Amino acid sequence: MASLRDIKTRINSTKKTSQITKAMEMTSAAKWNRGVMNAKSFVPYMEKIQEVTAAIALGSKGVNHPMLQARPVKKTGYIVMSSDRGLAGAFNSNVLRRVNQTIQQNHKSNDEFAIIAIGRVARDFFVKRGIKVALEIIGISDQPSFADIKDIASSTVGMFADGTFDEIYLYYNHYISAISQEVTEKKLLPLSEIKPTGKLISYEFEPSAEEILEVLLPQYAESLIYGALLDSKASEHAARMTAMKNATDNAKELIRNYTLMYNRARQAAITQEITEIVGGAAALE
């Protein structure tokens, strides 16, 4: 049985741990609030650019742009979004497991695909398994701006345009609520499944539809990546906040158990001392 000193040490160390997890929970809560606002504020822009892109692409006859056309798939790119650090519950493991299962089901050779990793955890996961990481970015801000990922987004679109990849998929955690995030798969390129958000609107534009789409389609694809990143960041902060709350609650439960154990051990020690004193006094009579 542990001594009183050992139990007291455990109580003190667990209290310090609970203070740390509580502070991390509060920090994540603040980041979560802002992250959700960022994700929601980007939605109107995404809906509008999708509406305009769909209207021009679907409403113009004879439009033929490489980013809209499916082609024989020789190599697939997977954009995988994770965090740069752990302590976020199943946030990272869920999305990495999903991607890994997809790879095992769809590919027989590592030459048939490559990873575009956004986040240190995703990068390290695939590098350790000998899977090629074509592009990577780590150290992204907790409240990212488009400038943070502009290079990797434009490079990703460029790798589709130059034929490095014949299709590109996005994998990230979609934010539902503070306690619920859903792993989401989205086909980024080609944009063959682009649809209007509502009724197809007719736009007057100059110059030709092809020239407008030449500029608009890459911007739209890059916006999809940025929107997914904002969504993923909101999910990350929510997952970390929940994980730290659970850790704090578990620490408090441990403290209660250790305190009860300490009191019982202390009471037993006092009882033992009284028994010894009474026994000694009786022996002197």
pTM: 0.87
Say whether both 149 and 254 belong to one domain. Answer: no
The per-residue pLDDT of the chain, averaged, comes to: 88
CATH number, residue 205: 3.40.1380.10
pLDDT the model gives residue 82: 95
Assess if residue 34 is contained within a domain.
Answer: no
Assess if residue 114 is contained within a domain.
Answer: yes
Token pair for 20: 């740390």
pLDDT the model gives residue 270: 82
Say whether both 271 and 190 belong to one domain. Answer: no
Assess if residue 268 is contained within a domain.
Answer: yes
pLDDT the model gives residue 59: 63
Query: pLDDT-derived band of residue 197, with 50, 70 and 90 as boundaries?
Result: low
Q: Are 36 and 256 in contact (CB under 8 A)?
A: no
pLDDT at 5 over 80: yes
Say whether both 136 and 275 belong to one domain. Answer: no
pLDDT single digits (tens) 214-266: 888 888 899 999 999 999 999 999 999 999 999 999 999 999 999 998 888 88
Total number of domains in the chain:
2
Say whether both 187 and 173 belong to one domain. Answer: yes
- What is the average per-residue pLDDT within 14-38? 93
Nearest-angstrom CA–CA distance, 232 and 220: 18
CA dihedral 208, 209, 211, 215 (to 10 degrees): 150
Give the range of the structural domain holding residue 247, as residue numbers without chain letter: 4-24+243-280
What is the SS3 string spanning 4-65? HHHHHHHHHHHHHHHHHHHHHHHHHHHHHHHHHHHHHHHHHHHHHHHHHHHHHHHHCCCCCC
Nearest-angstrom CA–CA distance, 186 and 199: 23
Nearest-angstrom CA–CA distance, 243 and 213: 44
CATH number, residue 257: 1.10.287.80
Phi/psi zone of residue 130: left (φ > 0), alpha (ψ -120 to 50 degrees), beta? left
Token pair for 55: 């209207």
Assess if residue 32 is contained within a domain.
Answer: no
Query: pLDDT-derived band of residue 20, with 50, 70 and 90 as boundaries?
Result: very high
Query: pLDDT-derived band of residue 93, with 50, 70 and 90 as boundaries?
Result: very high
Q: Which amino acid is at 169?
A: Y
pLDDT the model gives residue 198: 62
Q: Is the peptide bond before 207 cis (omega within 30 degrees of 0)?
A: yes
Say whether both 108 and 198 belong to one domain. Answer: yes
Which residue has 């990797």 as its token pair? 152
CB count within 10 Å of CB 195 equals 10
Residues 6+ apart with CB under 8 A from 88: 236, 239, 240, 243
Say whether both 174 and 122 belong to one domain. Answer: yes
Residues 6+ apart with CB under 8 A from 63: 56, 57, 209, 210, 213
